[in-house]
Amino acid sequence: DSGVTQTPKHLITATGQRVTLRCSPRSGDLSVYWYQQSLDQGLQFLIQYYNGEERAKGNILERFSAQQFPDLHSELNLSSLELGDSALYFCASSVSTGRDTGELFFGEGSRLTVL
Amino acid sequence: GQQLNQSPQSMFIQEGEDVSMNCTSSSIFNTWLWYKQDPGEGPVLLIALYKAGELTSNGRLTAQFGITRKDSFLNISASIPSDVGIYFCAGTPKGGGADGLTFGKGTHLIIQP
């Protein structure tokens, strides 16, 4: 158990819909990262938050947005869903911004299926 | 963003064999890390390397940070069934981690009985 909690574990929805994925980081970790994992693309970095503020942005689509709340939990919002958005979405946390260590603790992921 | 080339893509080995996989980049990395992902789980950190030339072991696992800072390898000795999974290399590029931690595409390790 990494200490990172993600909900829901599985989600099935239709194209055009909007979903929210939730992540609670390990106790004491200030940084939260979101990654997308699909079969042909591996782990793709989406976005990072540190203590409530956006710190780094990767290949995140404009239809996707995220935020980190004062209690440090984070939500990833995916809207106008397309078939190609079907993937595993991982949240990870670390104590620091991640610049120094790269040592991340991953949750078990949320599997999104868009039909 | 930065690209990491990880090889091989997959390995089919017999239990007890040694395993070797590597990761290369065209640019310099400040850190190299190796993660393992079991089926249905998130990646778990195995080994972290922070200095060029560093050689670090974790049980049957050994990893090295290449002297050029553009590559790393992971060796697993005397493989056992629980070694099955996907192994990812990852790194933070020189100049900071503004792009986030970059992952290779993974090496699928399959152990044949």
pLDDT at A85 over 50: yes
**Statement: residue A100 has pLDDT above 90:** no
- Letter for the amino acid at B65? F
Contacts of B104 in chain A (CB under 8 A): 42
pLDDT of residue A1: 85
Candidates A42, A100, A104; nearest CB to B105? A42
The structure tokens listed for A46 are 């989406």
Mean pLDDT, rounded, for A21-37:
94
Q: Which two tokens stand for residue B93?
A: 């590029």
Could A56 and B90 be called an inter-chain contact, meaning their C-beta atoms sit closer than 8 Å?
no
CA distance B35 to B46: 5
- List Cα–Cα distances, B24 to A6, A70, A76, B51, in angstroms: 32, 39, 31, 16
Query: Mind listing the pLDDT tens digit of every residue in chain B (113 residues)?
Result: 567 899 999 999 999 999 999 999 988 898 999 999 998 899 999 999 999 999 999 999 999 999 999 999 999 999 999 999 999 999 987 765 545 688 999 999 999 87
- How crowded is residue B95: how many other Cβ atoms within 10 Å of its Cβ? 11
Task: Supply the pLDDT for residue B96.
Answer: 59
Which residues are A50's β-sheet partners? A31, A53
Q: Rounded distance, CA B79 to CA B19, Å?
A: 7
Of the segments A31-40, A42-51, B73-82, B93-102, which one has the largest average pLDDT value? Answer: B73-82
Q: Do A106 and B43 touch (CB under 8 A)?
A: yes
**Among A46-50, A100-104, B15-19, which is the least confidently predicted range?**
A100-104
Closest chain A residue by Cα to residue B47: A103
Choose among A47, A51, A50, A59: nearest CA to A21: A47
Cα separation, A35 vs A27, whole angstroms:
20
pLDDT tens digits along A3-17: 999 999 999 999 999
Task: Please give the mean pLDDT across all residues of chain A.
Answer: 92
Residue A71 to residue B73: CA distance in whole angstroms: 39
Query: B1, A108: Cβ pair inside 8 Å?
Result: no
Give CA–CA dist B29/B57, Å, rounded.
20
Number of alpha carbons in the 13 Å side-chain half-sphere of residue B33: 23
d(CA B12, CA A53): 44
Residue A104: list chain B partners with CB under 8 A. Answer: 43, 45, 101
pLDDT for position B98: 45
* CA B95 to chain CA centroid, nearest Å: 21
Residues 6+ away with beta carbon under 8 Å from B82: none
- CB–CB of B39/A108 below 8 Å? no
State the DSSP code for B81.
G
Burial class of residue A83 in the structure, from the number of CB atoms within 10 Å of its CB (0-12 exposed, 13-18 middle, 19+ buried): exposed
**Would you state the pLDDT for residue A42?**
82
- Distances in Å between the Cα of B109 and the Cα atoms of A38, B8, B22, B43, B97 are 18, 9, 13, 14, 29
